[in-house]
């Protein structure tokens, strides 16, 4: 039987629902337990409201985030929205506890602004327009966001102090891979805005550690996770001139084999690639079989080392660079550095050897 995944609503939709609940209280003195808002794609959303109360000089509403079947780290977190009446017709947005501020150029908002993205702002503006009461100050807080933000890319992107209020429409559909991929791309925008046109792509912490040891600037180091091909395309679209791939042998050997989504459930070929290149360098058939039978690339590396074939890594690195450049039709240059779990550099292509 086919399982239908449940949709949820974004932090931006939570904030918009909180604004509506607060404005109902402000204008009619009524406490509601649910509101309906219209997402930016036209989807009606009925969102429960945990509480509404008079708070300080405004009205504060609490809405708990519901992510449906998307594994979002903010699921269940309380989003507090405090609404205050001000002079004029403008809506001013403020970042409360757990909501970050922009500290680097290259994102959707200018430096200094609360990290409340344009789509959630539009959603809130649409809600406020229903009441026609003029200017408002809207402060959004997610107390858990102080800690949750440390599990996101916000510190790298230059969003400090908490989470970003995000969402393109208000509806959170369970497409976690697409959402995750799209969350990686702003790293490139921030790096480009900082003046970098040569970037270091690292699939994980091992590559990042080596990149920093080699002296590459933090602002140019970009996390790709398993989505190396997707990020190469994003870099090419933004006219980045050069990418240096720096990561574990097990990930980048796949790139040498033309695999650009490197999750092991999508595609593999690590051991086969190592076996093929080692065989081409003269490794005896019985040793090639040992590589194919190895449990991990680290085990395979021991076989390569025992046969004094470490120079094979240079060829694999060069092939990864070639395949990656071909993947984006030569729109940017690619160089490669292969490392092991211990952080040792196993091999580089000809260009990176001069770094």
Is 355's pLDDT higher than 60? no
Angstrom distance (rounded) from CA 165 to CA 241: 32
Positive/negative CA dihedral, 116, 150, 17, 85: negative
pLDDT digits (tens, 9 = 90+) for 313-350: 999 999 999 999 999 999 999 999 999 988 899 999 87
Q: Can you tell me the distance from the alpha carbon of 258 to that of 272, in angstroms, rounded to the nearest whole number?
A: 12
Q: Looking at residue 71, what is its pLDDT?
A: 72
Residues 231-241 have a mean pLDDT of: 97
In 3D, which of 240, 151, 159, 231 has the Cα closest to residue 195?
A: 240
pLDDT the model gives residue 266: 83
DSSP reduced 3-state for 310? coil
pTM: 0.74
Nearest 5 degrees, angle CA 246-CA 247-CA 250?
145
For the chain, which domains are there? Answer: 8-174 (3.30.2110.10), 185-354 (no CATH)
Residue 245 near residue 228, CB atoms below 8 Å: yes
Q: Which of residues 56 and 241 earns the better pLDDT score?
A: 241
Q: Which residues have CB under 8 Å from 123's CB, separation 6+? A: 12, 13, 15, 16, 37, 39, 40, 167, 170
- DSSP class of residue 341 equals T
Please write the tens of the pLDDT for every residue from 247-292: 999 999 999 999 999 987 788 899 999 999 999 999 999 999 999 9
Listed residue (48, 80, 82) closest to 66, CA to CA: 48
pLDDT over 90, % of the chain: 75
Measured from the Cβ of residue 58, the count of other Cβ atoms closer than 10 Å reads 18
Element containing residue 82 per DSSP (H, E) = strand 78-85
- Between these two residues, 159 and 342, which has the higher pLDDT value? 159
Residues 36 and 45: their CA atoms lie apart, in Å, by 5
């Amino acid at each position: 039987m086919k399982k239908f995944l449940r949709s949820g609503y974004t932090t931006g939709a939570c904030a918009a629902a909180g604004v509506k609940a607060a404005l109902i209280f402000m204008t009619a003195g009524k406490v509601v337990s649910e509101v309906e808002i219209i997402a930016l794609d036209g989807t009606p959303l009925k969102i429960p409201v945990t509480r509404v109360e008079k708070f300080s000089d405004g009205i504060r509403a609490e809405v708990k985030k519901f992510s449906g079947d998307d594994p979002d780290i903010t699921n269940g977190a309380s989003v507090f929205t405090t609404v205050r009446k001000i002079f004029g017709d403008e809506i001013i947005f403020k970042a409360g506890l757990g909501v970050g501020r922009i500290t680097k150029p290259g994102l959707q908002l200018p430096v200094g602004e609360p990290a409340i993205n344009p789509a959630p702002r539009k959603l809130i503006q649409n809600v406020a327009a229903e009441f026609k009461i003029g200017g408002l100050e809207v402060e959004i807080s997610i107390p858990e966001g102080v800690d949750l933000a440390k599990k996101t890319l916000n510190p790298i992107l230059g969003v400090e102090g908490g989470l970003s209020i995000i969402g393109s429409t208000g509806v959170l559909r369970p497409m976690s891979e697409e959402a995750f991929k799209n969350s990686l791309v702003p790293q490139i925008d921030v790096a480009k805005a900082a003046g970098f046109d040569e970037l270091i792509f690292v699939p994980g912490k091992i590559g990042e550690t080596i990149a920093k040891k080699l002296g590459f600037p933090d602002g140019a180091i970009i996390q790709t996770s398993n989505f190396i091909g997707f990020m190469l395309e994003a870099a090419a679209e933004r006219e980045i001139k050069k990418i240096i791939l720096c990561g574990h042998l097990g990930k980048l050997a796949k790139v040498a084999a033309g695999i650009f989504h490197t999750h092991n459930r999508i595609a593999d070929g690590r051991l086969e690639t190592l076996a093929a290149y080692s065989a081409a360098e003269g490794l005896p058939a019985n040793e090639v079989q040992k590589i194919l039978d190895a449990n991990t690339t680290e085990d395979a590396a021991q076989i390569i080392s025992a046969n004094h074939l470490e120079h094979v890594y240079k060829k694999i690195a060069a092939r990864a660079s070639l395949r990656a450049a071909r993947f984006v039709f030569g729109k940017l240059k690619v160089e490669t550095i292969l490392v092991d779990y211990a952080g040792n550099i196993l091999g580089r292509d000809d260009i990176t050897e001069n770094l």
